[in-house]
Structure 1
């Protein structure tokens, strides 16, 4: 549990850093790297927790893992999928229930061993054996088999519309991981362009370019560090003083001042990350729908998004980011009508009707500044409605374990974050389906009709049928107050002017992307 630190205002920020001084420093700065093989340093609010792709459940971990490991396929410029370890496009059977993939004969791991079909089979089966956080991605496969040393066959009982995204799952070396799983989580061996030099969970990952990388393109950046920075103001200071060459994500608190205090610019792109309040339907006062309804009257979410998120994100009214909801022609106006306006008196009345046990409602957040801001805002609203509230903020790894405990001692409400793809399944199934309760689902909601619809939607390629299933499931989730959607948040970096060709990808875990196609990130070096 931690006390909430005082956050600086925009005026405090400029006064502390000094706009004029910052501009002067930026003008005379700047040496990035020390020669033809520069280091790219990122100050992040999202620390990596593990480097094991099987057990990863956070953006920070996925960002580091994505540099060390390759999948059979990877994301292109957008959300299209292109071959990586795979030698070419997948071959589909006539009914699309079988998919065959050939491995590029050049592909090998960083210890020099070839990537073989047995490694691919293991990578897709291991999450299911341990109920890992990544299990939802590979669960639809009925079987994954090695046809020969370089050929894999994926079999499906039902069509799986998220297949393309599932095939980006990182490939790990079977024997090397099985030899010592604990060591593998900190010193892994992948087939990607960077090797792990050092790693300290929730603090820093240092990666070095693998000189014998077999794939294309090869990064120019020789060393990548991803270091945890706790506060946005500290991030900006590190960018100004050249301690970091980039920071991410860019807080709304500092976005308008990056160019004033540092020789840098903000690069942003609409992504698929969203925030929500989730309720504990397993134990405690929030198992009563009247309590959840009362809580929905305690906070002005429109104001919270305007204060804490704009202009780096926008309000959303369902578990789907606005661009996904729009692309799927979802009834967002109807869902917006289900959101209650702030009304402390109505909340007090509902709390009285529920006869909720006395005591404080526990609001669980991570130490991410955005999570804490939302948690404190809700706590303030609960107090206005004469209900005690306690915000409990935990480091990322502890938060991720606690938020799926289902224990009333741990939380009544939590601030959740969904990181998905353009497919609604990636936002809904891991977050709300009962199969993922206690793994990635902290609500423990159990409603057969919703579970059946979420499952049916991932077992048909009929887009209109999927749309109807998702619409019905989401409407019920909102009516039952299983969650209160808050906002979507852009993927963003503030990057020093000496960094060239840096582009933000819409899939959060793909960032920071240092080499893709013709876009090779380069850095100025000392004259």
Structure 2
């Protein structure tokens, strides 16, 4: 199969181109370790840790790669996945009709080539590659594609937003699929990268499938432990053109950045990701490694519970916005691996779409404790604790504690509740004030604004991927209309108005963007970081395959 770049105009109907134990933390923000703390901690790694290490780079009978990640995989089912950790494992096991190339362009994967467009772009036909097979040696057929695009809607799954624009998806024969749109969908090319799953195999036992799935990608699942580790082995009968050199890939959850760095130094892991701002300047000091980074499309925000509790009062949300110096928080916890942003769109998306970022900056409040106190009194919300929900991700916890500290400065109680990824994903969309008043959210999207705004704020996704439960008809109509027009300037106007209203109503407090980053042992060669988070770690692509010490895996 030859993968060809799929032109934007040819595929688009428009013209434009998230397991440790449960923890409840109530203390102040802890002092960040100094350089001396780091080096002392790493240099004094315990004998028991060292005894448990296994050097993987360049050793053993086959090339193996082990990655220590702060983002644990929690499911391997593409229909149900919504966290970066899950998606990163899924992308090795499954293929979509199309896949991302070296950048954000898409190229044929299961599709044999470019789609044929009919009915003024409202219908398009995709032919499947004759060689496309699942790992049980069954051909990928059109019925599997139809199922992959209709199951998310039928199951009200986290991925439903990606496929909801399609009016119908039908199999014309075993190798031909017809997609029909009732309206244009400018983000079509991104939707067509959705992983294709085998219908019958998933329906036989969905629970088993989520832990041991069958895909059409270059890697099979060897073992999986939710929120701990996924080990994948290369499928040597992979039907695709490019065969990875790495035969065994392990994605292992590591809870703390310092532990990550120690694991890299002792060869427990060959790569770590993402690279915490806490350790980025020390990678070269303690390991024969380097940091590889790429500006991506991931951002953090504080989301408010507008369904129940004190944060349904706009005065309380405004008071909270005066409780934290976000410039300082980003400087302390994020830089240099990210930057402050003032809207829910990453800086490069906002710039590409010519958004009024200066105006959005003016809507952000500076810390003002007295103003916060007055607003809390006006809202009669001076008593009780605000519950701040975070995942176990260290950055999320730091941002949660920073906000809690600011609330205490304003004489308001705050409780930070940090949960493992599975529990966090369940609770931040519950809408229950017992679970959260505020949550630290993370958006990982594409260059199209729809991927950042629709799943995060549209009422259709409330309780699924939207934990704010914001209801404002004008904003919902704009978010819907923006994904139904191929007029780029009209889309820009709709998104500008929607985001401005979201910020004025303080549905969220945008925090920052965060780069895609890996610290990589010198023995790992030809590894490049992709701007789309889920594509990482990319082990094979148009510019060759990742190797270990020059090995080709053959």
TM-score normalised to the size of structure 2?
Answer: 0.92
From 208, 223, 232, give the equivalent of 1:183: 208
After TM superposition, give the deviation of residue 35 of structure 1 in Å. Answer: 4.8
1:200 aligns with 2:221: no
> Are the aligned partners of 1:32 and 1:525 in contact in 2 as well (CA < 8 Å)?
no
Partner of 2:158: 133
After TM superposition, give the deviation of residue 18 of structure 1 in Å. Answer: 4.0
Any idea what the Cα deviations from partners look like across 1:283-340, whole Å, max 9, x if unmatched?
0000000000000000000000000000000000000000000000000000000000
From 70, 75, 80, give the equivalent of 1:45: 70
From 243, 260, 265, give the equivalent of 1:235: 260
1:474 aligns with 2:499: yes
Partner of 1:378: 403
Q: Distance in 1 between matches of 2:134 and 2:37?
A: 49
1:218 aligns with 2:272: no
The 3-state SS of whatever aligns with 1:504 is: coil
Map 1:507-522 → 2, pairs under 5 A: 507-522=532-547
1:405 aligns with 2:430: yes
After TM superposition, give the deviation of residue 489 of structure 1 in Å. Answer: 0.1
Deviates more, 1:42-51 or 1:6-15: 6-15
Partner of 1:322: 347
> Are the aligned partners of 1:38 and 1:525 in contact in 2 as well (CA < 8 Å)?
no
Partner of 2:327: 302
The 3-state SS of whatever aligns with 1:319 is: coil
Partner of 2:512: 487
Partner of 1:69: 94
Q: Distance in 2 between matches of 1:18 and 1:112?
A: 49
Partner of 2:357: 332
After TM superposition, give the deviation of residue 92 of structure 1 in Å. Answer: 1.1
Deviates more, 1:351-360 or 1:84-93: 351-360
Partner of 1:392: 417
From 468, 472, 482, give the equivalent of 1:457: 482
From 296, 306, 315, give the equivalent of 1:290: 315
The 3-state SS of whatever aligns with 1:154 is: strand
> Are the aligned partners of 1:67 and 1:193 in contact in 2 as well (CA < 8 Å)?
yes
The 3-state SS of whatever aligns with 2:126 is: strand
After TM superposition, give the deviation of residue 356 of structure 1 in Å. Answer: 1.9
The 3-state SS of whatever aligns with 1:364 is: strand
> Are the aligned partners of 1:36 and 1:525 in contact in 2 as well (CA < 8 Å)?
no
> Are the aligned partners of 2:293 and 2:518 in contact in 1 as well (CA < 8 Å)?
yes
Any idea what the Cα deviations from partners look like across 1:437-487, whole Å, max 9, x if unmatched?
000000000000000000000000100000000000000000000000000
Partner of 1:262: 287
> Are the aligned partners of 2:525 and 2:550 in contact in 1 as well (CA < 8 Å)?
no
After TM superposition, give the deviation of residue 237 of structure 1 in Å. Answer: 0.2
Q: Distance in 2 between matches of 1:324 and 1:525?
A: 37
> Are the aligned partners of 2:24 and 2:415 in contact in 1 as well (CA < 8 Å)?
no
> Are the aligned partners of 2:150 and 2:169 in contact in 1 as well (CA < 8 Å)?
yes
From 168, 179, 182, give the equivalent of 1:157: 182
After TM superposition, give the deviation of residue 8 of structure 1 in Å. Answer: 2.9
> Are the aligned partners of 1:76 and 1:516 in contact in 2 as well (CA < 8 Å)?
yes
After TM superposition, give the deviation of residue 198 of structure 1 in Å. Answer: 0.2
> Are the aligned partners of 1:31 and 1:524 in contact in 2 as well (CA < 8 Å)?
no
Q: Distance in 2 between matches of 1:309 and 1:516?
A: 30
From 457, 460, 468, give the equivalent of 1:443: 468
Q: CA RMSD in A?
A: 1.5
Q: Residues 419 and 341 of structure 1: is their aligned pair in 2 closer, same or farther, counting only changes over 3 Å?
A: same
Partner of 1:272: 297
The 3-state SS of whatever aligns with 1:185 is: helix
Q: Distance in 1 between matches of 2:230 and 2:39?
A: 30
> Are the aligned partners of 1:43 and 1:248 in contact in 2 as well (CA < 8 Å)?
yes
After TM superposition, give the deviation of residue 71 of structure 1 in Å. Answer: 0.3
Partner of 1:501: 526
Q: Distance in 2 between matches of 1:330 and 1:451?
A: 19
1:2 aligns with 2:23: yes
After TM superposition, give the deviation of residue 204 of structure 1 in Å. Answer: 0.1
1:430 aligns with 2:451: no
> Which blocks of at least 5 consecutive residues in structure 2 are unaligned?
1-21, 45-49
The 3-state SS of whatever aligns with 2:465 is: coil
Any idea what the Cα deviations from partners look like across 1:149-205, whole Å, max 9, x if unmatched?
100000000000110000000000000000000000000000000000000000000
From 88, 101, 106, give the equivalent of 2:126: 101
1:415 aligns with 2:440: yes
Partner of 1:369: 394
Number of corresponding residues: 518
Partner of 2:367: 342
Q: Distance in 2 between matches of 1:291 and 1:518?
A: 52
The 3-state SS of whatever aligns with 1:278 is: strand
> Are the aligned partners of 2:56 and 2:269 in contact in 1 as well (CA < 8 Å)?
no
Q: Distance in 2 between matches of 1:35 and 1:187?
A: 25
The 3-state SS of whatever aligns with 1:114 is: coil
> Are the aligned partners of 1:285 and 1:357 in contact in 2 as well (CA < 8 Å)?
no
Partner of 2:548: 523
> Are the aligned partners of 1:117 and 1:146 in contact in 2 as well (CA < 8 Å)?
yes
TM-score normalised to the size of structure 1?
Answer: 0.96
The 3-state SS of whatever aligns with 1:416 is: strand
